[in-house]
Amino acid sequence: MQFGAHVSIAGGVFNAPLNAHAIGADTFQIFSRSPRGGRAPELTAEVLKLFKDNLKQSGIKNFYIHAPYFINLASKEKRIQQGSIQILREELERGSKLGAAGMMFHMGSAKDFGPEISFSMVEESLKAILKGYTGKTKLLIENSAGAGEIIGADFETIGKLIKKLKNPQLGVCLDTCHMFASGYDFKTTAALTKTLIAFDKHIGLNKLVCLHLNDSLTVLNSHRDRHADIGFGEIGLPAFKLLIKNQKLKHLDALLETPTSNENYSKQILKLKKLQK
């Protein structure tokens, strides 16, 4: 398993690989644009060259892009839904230019229309996003913690979408905090086995592209999205050791999104590497 974290693109996206290397990361995640809105910085030929040169210098092979936070594919506001489709397609294209392995996103909320209509809206939106897309960067559905009516807290919903679309460019980013908050336990060998069987049944482990490694400030099945540093939450180090050493998961890239500084990211990456031994 390769470990990394979300890193800054301050000063230019080309700084990200060096920022990742500085914390001892083997992989990394970025926002390619502001997560809260606004125009995306242009990826000029010069910017792309600098990025790829720095990526080569860092020795890192795989990296990921996280979509902006305001995405909602089931919004009653047409401009929000259509804007979400447009931005996700743009981010896939930007990711392909940079060479990203995947671009993860949150599907949005079912509060406007309820689960059935919202599901259909998300399905049609994903079809529109992927129509004619031939780039390298995969579109990765990220599971949610299940707060309110956020879509994608259960494996069944995610799996149903993937099976309906049947698109090889569509995969999953599995967040450990969200998974735990949604009621999927992995604190014991038996619990992890049960959770992976459920994932494989409904989604397929072949669709799992990467992990977000986050401990949880809240208990199992709390349906609250509150990240904690690894080993400082309700999940705990033993559970992460089981996850990291699992034969079905050990080939994955794993990214930290914990509430911490770069210095602490370095310590957490070292901690994860020790758990792997």
Provide the pLDDT for residue 147: 85
pLDDT in tens, 99-152: 999 999 999 999 999 999 999 999 999 999 999 999 999 999 999 998 878 999
The pLDDT confidence band at residue 259, using thresholds 50, 70 and 90, is confident
- Asked if 31 and 7 touch (Cβ cutoff 8 Å), the reply is no
Phi, psi of 276 (to 5 degrees): -75, -25
Q: Compute how many other C-beta atoms are within 10 angstroms of the C-beta atom of residue 126.
A: 22
Provide the pLDDT for residue 260: 77
Q: Cα separations (Å) of 100 from 61, 65, 97?
A: 9, 7, 8
Phi, psi of 267 (to 5 degrees): -65, -40
Quick one: average pLDDT of 69-74? 94
| Residue 262 clears pLDDT 80, i.e. is over it | no
The percent of residues in the chain predicted with pLDDT above 70, rounded, is 99
Domain ranges of the chain: 2-276
- Superfamily for domain range 2-276: Divalent-metal-dependent TIM barrel enzymes (3.20.20.150)
* CA gap 21, 58 in Å, rounded: 6
Contacts of 84 (CB under 8 A, 6+ apart): 70, 71, 72, 73, 75, 108, 125
